[in-house]
């Protein structure tokens, strides 16, 4: 069996994966989405990273010996605020957003988890855990709230490697008169009549965010499991708080043995931001014709513990390499085994960058087997590749959208020939607003997609 070694944020070393709770069986919990809006590229990265890990674990231990849990946070202040902004019910917002998430992740080749718990289905378990923490002196009630007493857990800060003083200085600590210590965090909070709430020993209210994952992971995986994953932005305070409350509520358990965190994502070398115009959801890219497997390939081309930079250059390179691989493997029967050097790269802290490099030199049957392992589809299943091979448009260009754009450019050319420059400018401006870049060349015009595309804006052109 392949030995898998993973970087453990807690120990700051590559630790061997040695399932100890149930020998030969692996359990993994990954923090999933808070369902209030479309998943942006940064949200998608951990979904893809831990999907590859899930696939590697299943390849190594067998499907029946892996339990992969990824939760849905469907009660949180962001959800309440967004539902109020849109004037819709919270249930409608969360159901719609969750469906979007599933569709978008499926487009990236992400397998569904074995268990997908919803926070609202585990409120009794959360209340029970909070009651235990209060009874043991690790939490206290104050003004309708229940707070975890950080000072009661001596190892607080071990995951992030920072002292409590450093964490206070570097964090946005909520100041509240009912707190005994600035670092104490909320386990339970009161709900207004128009907010979701549940009856509890402390009055009608709702859980704090951190207690949700502790209660769900314990209910499904027990007080000890093998791997806990998520983005590096969750290391503190979310995961630090999870450890504190879980270890205090169930001191007999180890909670998570290995902690894995993927790094953040940038766009063209800059932090993704709406103000910079470089903020993209997964759906934005899919709608502008970027195939899901291309997005996945770009993600996997950077090691998960390094910051990832999404660029148009990388997208183009991914399209070219995938096209070449699909041509090489089209109609070929996959090998029964994955080459050892690809497995070794993945087993060495999920080094997908090295795995992709190793795959370049594989013969077609082994390349196809390796592609399947990392979640890339067979050439026979890829519509855009079949279209390219049949002499269609370039990769990533939806044929219906291309036809519409070509028609508009023809209308623009006709307007210019008739000296109707106002109409020509109107069409040019509408295309530009939709994210279509027009270049006038001798004999006509050519076009390409820019960084941000919304073809729905072309519907206004009559």
Q: Are 134 and 146 in contact (CB under 8 A)?
A: yes
Q: Are 52 and 352 in contact (CB under 8 A)?
A: yes
List pLDDT tens digits, range 171-194. 556 678 889 999 999 999 999 999
Helical (H) or strand (E) element with 66: strand 66-70
List pLDDT tens digits, range 194-220. 999 999 999 999 999 999 999 999 999
- C-alpha to C-alpha distance for 244 and 242, rounded to whole angstroms: 6
- C-alpha to C-alpha distance for 156 and 164, rounded to whole angstroms: 8
- pTM for the predicted model, two decimal places: 0.84
Predicted confidence (pLDDT) at residue 399 exceeds the cutoff of 70:
no
Q: What is the 3-state secondary structure (H, E, C) of 146-165?
A: EEECHHHCCCCCCCCCCCHH
Sign (positive/negative) of CA torsion 383, 388, 393, 396? positive
Start-to-end CA span in the chain (Å): 63
Q: How many CB atoms lie within 10 A of CB 86?
A: 12
pLDDT of residue 273: 82
pLDDT of residue 386: 79
Which 8-state DSSP code applies to residue 63?
Answer: G
Instruction: Check residues 161 and 367 and name the one with the higher pLDDT.
Output: 367
Q: Are 48 and 300 in contact (CB under 8 A)?
A: yes
List pLDDT tens digits, range 370-393. 999 999 999 999 988 876 776 544
The pair of three-digit structure tokens given for residue 394, joined into one six-digit string: 């370039």
List b or e across 370-395, with b for residues whose CB sees 16 or more CB atoms inside 10 angstroms: bbbbbbbbbbeebebbebbeeeeeeb
- CA-nearest of 247, 269, 267, 265 to 257 is 247
Q: How many CB atoms lie within 10 A of CB 141?
A: 16
- CA-nearest of 258, 220, 259 to 239 is 259
List pLDDT tens digits, range 118-152. 999 999 999 999 999 999 999 999 999 999 999 99
Q: Which domains does the chain have, with CATH numbers?
A: 5-262 (3.40.50.620), 266-389 (no CATH), 399-460 (no CATH)
Predicted confidence (pLDDT) at residue 269 exceeds the cutoff of 70:
yes
- C-alpha to C-alpha distance for 57 and 227, rounded to whole angstroms: 11
Q: Are 213 and 6 in contact (CB under 8 A)?
A: no
């Amino acid at each position: 069996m392949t030995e898998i070694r993973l970087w453990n944020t807690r120990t700051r070393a590559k630790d061997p994966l040695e399932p100890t709770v149930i020998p030969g069986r692996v359990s993994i919990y990954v923090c999933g989405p808070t369902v209030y809006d479309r998943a942006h590229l940064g949200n998608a990265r951990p979904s893809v990273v831990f999907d590859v890990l899930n696939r590697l674990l299943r390849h190594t231990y067998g499907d029946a010996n892996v339990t992969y849990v990824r939760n849905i946070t469907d009660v949180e202040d962001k959800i309440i605020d967004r539902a109020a902004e849109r004037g819709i019910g919270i249930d409608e917002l969360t159901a719609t957003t969750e469906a979007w998430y599933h569709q978008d992740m499926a487009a990236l080749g992400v397998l569904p988890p074995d268990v997908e718990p919803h926070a609202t289905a585990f409120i009794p378990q959360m209340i029970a855990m909070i009651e235990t923490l209060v009874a043991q002196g690790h939490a206290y009630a104050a003004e309708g709230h229940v707070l975890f007493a950080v000072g009661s857990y001596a190892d607080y800060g071990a995951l992030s490697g920072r002292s409590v003083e450093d964490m206070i200085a570097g964090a946005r600590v909520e100041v509240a008169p009912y707190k005994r210590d600035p670092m104490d965090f909320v386990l339970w909070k009161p709900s207004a009549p128009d907010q979701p709430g549940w009856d509890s020993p402390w009055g009608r209210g709702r859980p704090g965010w951190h207690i949700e994952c502790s209660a769900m992971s314990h209910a499904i995986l027990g007080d000890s499991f093998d791997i806990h994953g998520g983005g590096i932005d969750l290391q503190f305070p979310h995961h630090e708080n999870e450890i504190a409350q879980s270890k205090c509520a169930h001191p007999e358990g180890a909670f998570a043995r290995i902690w894995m965190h993927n790094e953040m994502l940038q766009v063209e070398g800059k932090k993704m931001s709406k103000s910079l115009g470089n903020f993209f959801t997964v759906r934005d890219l899919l709608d502008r014709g970027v195939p899901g497997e291309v997005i996945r390939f770009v993600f996997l081309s950077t090691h998960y513990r390094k910051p990832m930079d999404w660029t148009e250059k990388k997208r183009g390179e991914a399209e070219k390499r995938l096209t070449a691989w699909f041509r090489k493997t089209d109609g070929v029967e996959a090998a029964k085994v994955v080459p050892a050097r690809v497995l070794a790269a993945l087993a060495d802290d999920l080094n997908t960058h090295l795995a992709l490099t190793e795959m370049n030199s594989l013969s077609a049957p082994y390349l196809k087997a390796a592609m399947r392992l990392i979640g890339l589809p067979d050439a026979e299943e890829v519509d855009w590749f079949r279209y390219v091979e049949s002499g269609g448009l370039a990769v990533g260009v939806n044929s219906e959208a291309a036809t519409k754009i070509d028609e508009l450019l023809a209308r623009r050319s006709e307007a210019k020939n008739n000296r109707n420059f106002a109409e020509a400018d109107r069409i040019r401006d509408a295309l530009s607003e939709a994210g279509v870049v027009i270049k006038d060349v001798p004999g006509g015009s050519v076009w390409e997609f820019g960084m941000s595309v919304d073809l729905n804006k072309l519907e206004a052109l009559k």
